[in-house]
């Protein structure tokens, strides 16, 4: 068996910063809350909770005057306002790239109709949308374009400003942008805000899938970027396995003659990737 691990596999810089800062905060506080999943990886969350972090689904569940962590994906505008009204000490660990997109959106509010390319149920997309004002629309797929154009035409704006969720599909971004340009006669101002790490990881998994017999994609079940890596690999290769950890790796799916490609999502820590490799090594003596 031969194992090839993607060079861009595992934590991106933003997630690494968020997890490191969260651990520092947990160690320095006698109980600190986190609103939602700090990153989309159950192992990372469990380790932080074992150290004392308390994850809550609703800010209402955080007692007034407490300390709370806001996750890497960012929060909606009303959540910041609620935190202020509850006199919470907020440690905002939003990814710097996400924060930059938020600022860009606010600069275009009232000037252009804002279109956000992203998963409609993803917290990052929801955060961006909350800052975009009333004249905004989320496009998740090509099927959303006709309604988006209709909304633009109903507005008083003659230009569109386009941004994207940091972990959005690069190929789908280009497809949607092409169809927008062919469907709308006005000006389209576009910021490709997909994270560079996301683009490099997607390009690499596409290339790697064409060079191996089987692929293992490692990441949290709620991780948008991990699912996208799986979809890209699956477009090139039949035998692709999406797992969260070594425990969910089924050895019977592999043989000693396989060449295996491995890629971890942006929220997957190195130790989980290493455990998967060690499990394969222990069975097949690589």
Sheet holding 240-243, edge to edge: 2-5, 259-264, 214-218, 240-243
124 counts as catalytic: yes
Question: In 86-114, which positions are buried (b, 16+ CB within 10 angstroms) versus exposed (e)?
Answer: bebebbebbbebbeebbebbeebeeebbb
Residue of 124, 140, 204, 228 with catalytic role: 124
Distance, C-alpha 78 to centroid of its chain? 21
Residues 6+ apart with CB under 8 A from 66: 31, 32, 33, 88, 89
Please tell me the total number of residues recorded for the chain in this structure: 286
Q: What are phi and psi of 258, to 5 degrees?
A: -75, 145
Q: For residue 44, what is the enclosing H or E element?
A: helix 42-50
Q: Half-sphere exposure of 113 toward its Cβ, with a 13 Å CA cutoff?
A: 22
For 77, 130, 165, the CA distances from 217, given in Å and listed in that order, are 34, 32, 21
Residue with tokens 């192992």: 43
Neighbours of 220 (CB within 10 A): 24
* CA distances to 67, 75, 165, 226, 239 from 222, in Å: 25, 17, 15, 8, 21
Phi, psi of 23 (to 5 degrees): -65, -40
Spatial separation of the C-alpha atoms in residues 92 and 160, rounded to whole Å: 30
Annotated catalytic sites, by residue? 124
């Amino acid at each position: 068996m031969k194992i090839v691990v993607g060079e861009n596999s595992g934590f991106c810089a933003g997630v690494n910063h968020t997890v490191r800062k969260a651990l520092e905060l947990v160690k320095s506080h006698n109980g600190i809350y986190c609103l939602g999943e700090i990153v989309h990886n159950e192992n990372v969350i469990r380790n932080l909770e074992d150290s004392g972090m308390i994850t809550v689904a609703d800010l209402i569940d955080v007692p007034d005057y407490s300390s709370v962590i806001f996750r890497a994906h960012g929060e909606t505008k009303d959540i910041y306002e609620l935190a202020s009204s509850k006199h919470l000490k907020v440690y905002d660990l939003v990814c710097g790239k996400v924060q930059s997109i938020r600022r860009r959106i606010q600069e275009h509010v009232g000037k252009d109709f804002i279109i956000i390319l992203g998963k409609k149920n993803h917290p990052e997309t929801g955060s961006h949308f909350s800052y975009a004002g009333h004249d905004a629309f989320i496009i998740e797929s090509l099927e959303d374009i006709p309604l988006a154009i209709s909304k633009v035409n109903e507005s008083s704006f003659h230009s569109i400003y386009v941004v994207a969720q940091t972990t959005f599909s690069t190929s789908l971004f280009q497809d949607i942008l092409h169809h927008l340009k062919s469907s709308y006669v006005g000006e389209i101002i576009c910021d490709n805000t997909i994270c560079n790490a996301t683009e490099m990881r997607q390009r690499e998994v596409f290339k790697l899938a064409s060079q191996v017999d089987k692929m293992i994609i490692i990441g949290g079940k709620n991780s948008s970027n991990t699912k996208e890596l799986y979809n890209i690999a699956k477009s090139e290769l039949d035998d692709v396995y999406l797992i969260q950890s070594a425990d969910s790796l089924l050895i019977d799916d592999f043989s000693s003659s396989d060449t295996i490609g491995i890629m971890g999502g942006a929220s997957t820590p190195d130790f989980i990737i290493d455990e998967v490799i060690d499990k394969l090594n222990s069975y097949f003596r690589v």
